[in-house]
């Protein structure tokens, strides 16, 4: 029996499993996914903006993967050398035990740590974007809700889609968000929010923006929020540069501005280009006034890198949310889908990496799919040449097998999925999410 273990249960993991199972006719092959979260699909469930339900359609393909008799999913299983304190309810599975039970191993663990801004260490005034997203998607790590009832201005650092997602969550009326996959406790916080203005800062210019025209258009057409006009000089294209079609479209949207005029709506936002944070001065007292976000004007060198310049007036803000990227918990050296040894020279036997675990946090689900398929083809080639392995039967390691009422299967997930949708329909929304305690009570009637 040939047994493949995939660590991680996001899109990359399921696309690897899909490719392998669809292209192998070996009835003895087993593909098992282990995820430290109790529910599958990773960033599709806990990263995609709630008002983008169409992005989650890939889960239909993942359901097809799970219908293959050679596939199994084990949620709430934390694979590694040490137990993760943020997910205390998960079963700890030492990596060596997994390696002893499977002939091939794929890391699809993604990038789960926020990149820290060197000038903005976490504090009561600085919350990483990942924690903010995990709050409104009800991630099992359960970060606390931001104190939006005491906040009027938020500064987002970064010009990617995640920054614009957070801006929309803060600027969209809760009555609109209610129809989507937004947990009721999150809606309750948003209904009490005092946020009236969002600043979005980028250290480079609009030509280097990482957000898409689609995301920008959605922000510009919000009915209750208008954009402060951007100074013309910040939107000028250097004479020696010919913008690409996507860049030209973004420039046109920024020049045109928001659907509603600035000053005519209850909420507003500003986009600051060529502005780099250099520090944060807390308010004089904890319950009075704004913090001051210190800034410098930047320029670009010949390679397009931001060069520090003169100081510019600070921005008053109640909360800073850096959104400048993600990092893996365990950096891997990868070549052509294969994980290399610590020296980065020799490929480890039958060990692979796919998705962001291999490429870093870049690209969208479609690019993750293509990368996963290419890695799966490498695995398939090795599986075809491998001798039959005598390891185990169609069962996970003992610590997983024996953890009744904790480890979840894909069948468990589909029961929860159907119940979330049913509860959502009763409330007039896409779904009503369960947290782990709700799901455990629903599945097994235990606290």
| Beta-strand pair 306-317/291-300 | antiparallel
In 10 A of CB 213, how many CB atoms?
A: 17
Distance in angstroms (rounded) separating the CA atoms of residues 78 and 97: 12
Distance from CA of residue 82 to its chain's centroid?
A: 23
pLDDT means over runs of 10, the chain (447 residues):
94 98 94 97 96 95 97 96 74 94 96 95 94 97 95 96 98 97 97 98 96 97 97 92 95 96 97 97 78 97 93 97 95 96 92 97 93 98 79 80 94 98 97 96 86
- Known binding residue 385? Answer is no
Q: Cβ distance 80 to 171 under 8 Å?
A: no
- Known binding residue 203? Answer is yes
- Known binding residue 80? Answer is no
Distance in angstroms (rounded) separating the CA atoms of residues 256 and 265: 17
Contacts of 389 (CB under 8 A, 6+ apart): 1, 2, 3, 103
Q: Which of 293, 216, 316 is nearest to 257 (CA)?
A: 216
Retrieve residue 306's tokens: 């931001």
Q: Which of 362, 327, 294, 321 is nearest to 169 (CA)?
A: 321
* DSSP summary character for residue 427: T
**How much is the pLDDT for 181?**
96
**How much is the pLDDT for 152?**
96
| Beta-strand pair 77-80/91-94 | parallel
CATH code that applies to domain 3-112+328-408: 3.40.50.720
CATH 3.50.50.60 segments of the chain? 115-325
CA distances from 360 to 109, 162, 328, 353 (A): 11, 16, 7, 11
b vs e for 91-122, b when ≥16 Cβ sit within 10 Å of the residue's Cβ?
bbbbeebbeebbbbbbbbbbbbebbebebbee
CA distances from 337 to 169, 349, 358, 362, 403 (A): 36, 12, 7, 16, 32
Instruction: Name the pTM for this structure.
Output: 0.95
Q: Cβ distance 32 to 102 under 8 Å?
A: yes
- Known binding residue 215? Answer is yes
Distance in angstroms (rounded) separating the CA atoms of residues 352 and 358: 9
- Known binding residue 87? Answer is no
Burial of 56 (0-12, 13-18, 19+ CB in 10 A): middle
- Known binding residue 55? Answer is no
**How much is the pLDDT for 143?**
93
- Known binding residue 12? Answer is yes
**How much is the pLDDT for 1?**
76
- Known binding residue 364? Answer is yes
CATH code that applies to domain 115-325: 3.50.50.60
CATH 3.40.50.720 segments of the chain? 3-112+328-408
**How much is the pLDDT for 297?**
97
**How much is the pLDDT for 82?**
65
Q: Which helix (DSSP H) or strand (DSSP E) does residue 3 occupy?
A: strand 3-7
- Known binding residue 339? Answer is no
**How much is the pLDDT for 446?**
66
**How much is the pLDDT for 375?**
98
Q: What are phi and psi of 193, to 5 degrees?
A: -65, 140
């Amino acid at each position: 029996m040939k047994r493949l273990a995939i660590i991680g249960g996001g899109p990359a993991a399921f696309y690897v499993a899909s490719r392998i199972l669809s292209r192998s006719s070996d009835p003895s092959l087993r593909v098992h996914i282990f995820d430290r979260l109790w529910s599958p699909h990773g960033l599709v469930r806990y990263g995609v903006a709630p008002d983008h339900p169409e992005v989650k359609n890939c889960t239909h393909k993942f359901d097809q993967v799970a219908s293959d008799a050679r596939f199994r999913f084990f949620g709430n299983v934390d694979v590694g050398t040490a137990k993760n304190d943020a997910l205390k309810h998960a079963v700890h599975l030492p990596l060596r035990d997994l390696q002893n039970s499977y002939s091939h191993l794929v890391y699809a663990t993604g990038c789960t740590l926020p990149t820290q801004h060197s000038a903005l260490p976490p504090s009561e005034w600085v919350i990483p974007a990942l924690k903010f997203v995990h709050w409104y998607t009800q991630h099992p790590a359960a970060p606390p809700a931001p104190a939006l009832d005491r906040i009027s201005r938020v500064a987002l650092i970064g010009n990617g889609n995640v920054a614009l997602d957070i801006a929309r969550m803060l600027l969209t009326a809760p009555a609109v968000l209610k129809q989507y996959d937004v947990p009721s406790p999150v809606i309750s916080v948003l209904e009490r929010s005092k946020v009236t203005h969002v600043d979005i800062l980028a250290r480079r210019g609009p030509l280097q923006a990482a957000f898409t025209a689609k995301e920008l258009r959605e922000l510009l057409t919000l009915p209750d929020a208008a954009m402060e006009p951007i100074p013309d000089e910040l939107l000028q294209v250097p004479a020696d540069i010919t913008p690409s079609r996507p860049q030209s479209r973004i420039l046109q949207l920024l020049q045109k501005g928001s659907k509603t005029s600035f000053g005519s709506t209850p909420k507003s936002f500003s986009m600051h280009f060529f502005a780099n944070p250099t520090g944060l001065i807390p308010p004089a007292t904890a319950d009075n006034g704004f913090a001051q976000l210190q800034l410098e004007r930047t320029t670009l060198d010949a390679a397009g890198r931001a060069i520090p310049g003169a100081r510019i007036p600070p921005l008053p803000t109640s909360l800073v949310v850096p959104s400048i990227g993600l990092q893996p918990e365990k950096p891997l050296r990868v070549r052509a889908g294969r994980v290399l040894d610590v020296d980065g020279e020799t490929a480890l036997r039958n060990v692979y990496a796919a998705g962001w675990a291999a490429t870093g946090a870049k690209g969208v689900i479609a690019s993750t799919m293509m990368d996963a398929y290419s890695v799966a083809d490498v695995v398939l080639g090795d599986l075809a040449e491998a001798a039959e392995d005598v390891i185990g039967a169609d069962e996970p390691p003992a610590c997983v097998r024996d953890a009744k009422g904790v480890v979840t299967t894909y069948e468990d997930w589909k029961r929860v999925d159907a119940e979330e949708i049913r509860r959502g329909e009763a409330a007039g929304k896409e779904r009503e999410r369960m947290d782990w305690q709700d799901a455990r009570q629903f599945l097994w009637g235990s606290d």
